Chain A
Amino acid sequence: MRMKELLKQLEQLLNEKDLDLLKIQELKTEILKNHIKGLKIENYIGDYPTFMEPVILGDSVKIGDDVLIGPKVYIGTDSVIEDYAEISNSIIFDNVKIGKNFKLDSCIIINNSKLNFDNFSSKNCILKGIAESEEELEIIRER
C-alpha cells in the first residue's frame, strides 16, 4: 500500500514543470530499497523471462524473449518490454513501451512513454516522450 502512495508521489514530482532531481532521486532510492520486496509477477504476458528479485509487475505487462529484469525493478500496468531488454534498479510507470535490446540501470520511465526504437543503453536517467529514435527521446540525467 505504502509503495503505491510513494509511486504516486514520485509520479507527481515527475509531472512538475521544474523537476526537483534530488527529491526524485531520493524517492526512487527509498522505493527501490525499502518498498520493492519479493517477486510479484503473477499477471505478466510472455514466455519466461529471467527475474532477479525483488521485482514487482503491474497487471498485463508484456515481456519479450531473453529479457532480464531485476534486481529492484517496478514495472507498471500495461507496459511493454521487448526482447533482450535488461532492466535493474529502475521504475517504469504504466503504459510504457520500450524497444528491443534496451539496457537500463537506475532509470525511471514516465508513464505513457513510447520508446519505439531498438538498442539503447543508459544509467541514472529519466526518460520520457514518444520517440521513434534515440535523438527524439527526452533524456534527463540524474546527478
Chain B
Amino acid sequence: MSEKRKKDIQRIKELESINLATDDIRDLVVQTKMKVAKDNEQLARQNNEELKEHNIKSVDIVGAIGAGKTALIEKIVEILSEKYRILVICGDITTRVDADRIQAHNAESIQINTGRECALNAYHIHKIIENKDLDDYDLLFIENVGNLICPSEFTLGTDTRITVVSTTEGEWVIEKHPMLFKMSQVAVINKIDLAERLGTNVQKMLKDAKEINPNIKVITTSAKTGKNIDKLIDILEL
C-alpha cells in the first residue's frame, strides 16, 4: 500500500461525515462510504447464511434507551430457555448491565461495548459468530445499542428485526422515527400498562406503524406484567 493511500485511509477513518471532507478527497470519501454500506450488507447476508446453516433462528431488537428491550428479552428467554439453547448479544456504549440481567435467565450473553459507535454493525456480529461454536445454539437474540436512529444504517443479518417503542416515549415516537419501522418485520409498543395513566394515544402509534410499513406486525406488550409476551413469541414463530 502506498504512503498516499495509507494517509487517505487514515483521513477517512477520522471523518464522521462527508461534509467534513475537503474537496480533494471528497470523491474518495463518498466512494468509501458507499463501499462500507455495501460491505455491511454483504456481511449481513453472510451472517444470515451461516446462522441458517446451523439452524439458528435469529432476531435483533432495536429501540430507544429505556424502551424495554432488555426486559422483553428477559421475559422471552424466561419462557424459551427450556425449549432452545439461547445466545444473546447485547450492544451498549459501555457497561455489562444488560448482559448480566439476561444471563440471570439461563441464556448465555455476550456484551459488546461499542464505545463511540451508536449501533452494532454486521462486522461485530460476524466477529462474534466466527468465534463461537454455532452448533451449541438454536436461537440468537441481538439487542442493539439504545437509540432509534443509528441502527437503521446497519442490518445485522438476522431473520427478523423488532423495533420496540414504549408508551412513555409519547404517541409521536413512531411517526418521528420512520426508518427503523420501514426495515422491521415486527413493531412492539411496550409499557402498555402505563398507557392509560400517561394518556398516550396508542391507537395513533398502531396506525403510524402500519402507515409507515403496511407489512409490519404490530403488538402491544408489557414486559413488566408479562402481557402479550406469549403473543409476541407466536408472532416470532418461536
Total interface residues on A, CB under 8 Å, equals 22
Give A48's nearest chain B residue, CB to CB.
B115
Which residues on B sit within 8 Å (CB–CB) of A51?
111-113, 115
Structural contact, A50 and B113, CB atoms closer than 8 A: yes
**B-side interface size class:** 20 to 34
Give A101's nearest chain B residue, CB to CB.
B10
- With A84-B13, A100-B10, A118-B6 in contact, is A53–B131 under 8 Å at CB? no
Q: Mark B126-144, 1 if CB is under 8 A from A, else 0.
A: 0110010000000000000
Structural contact, B113 and A71, CB atoms closer than 8 A: no
B45 an interface residue at 8 Å Cβ cutoff?
no
Give A33's nearest chain B residue, CB to CB.
B131
Which residues on B sit within 8 Å (CB–CB) of A84?
10, 13
Structural contact, A72 and B115, CB atoms closer than 8 A: no
How far is B6's CA from A52's CA once the two chains are assembled, in angstroms?
A: 26
B124 to chain A, nearest CB (A): 6
Which residues on A sit within 8 Å (CB–CB) of B131?
71-72, 88-89
How far is B10's CA from A100's CA once the two chains are assembled, in angstroms?
A: 9
B211 an interface residue at 8 Å Cβ cutoff?
no
A: which residues have CB within 8 A of B?
38-39, 41, 47-53, 65-66, 70-72, 84, 88-89, 100-101, 118-119
Would you mind naming 5 contact pairs between A and B with Cβ atoms under 8 Å apart? A47-B116, A50-B114, A66-B13, A100-B10, A119-B6
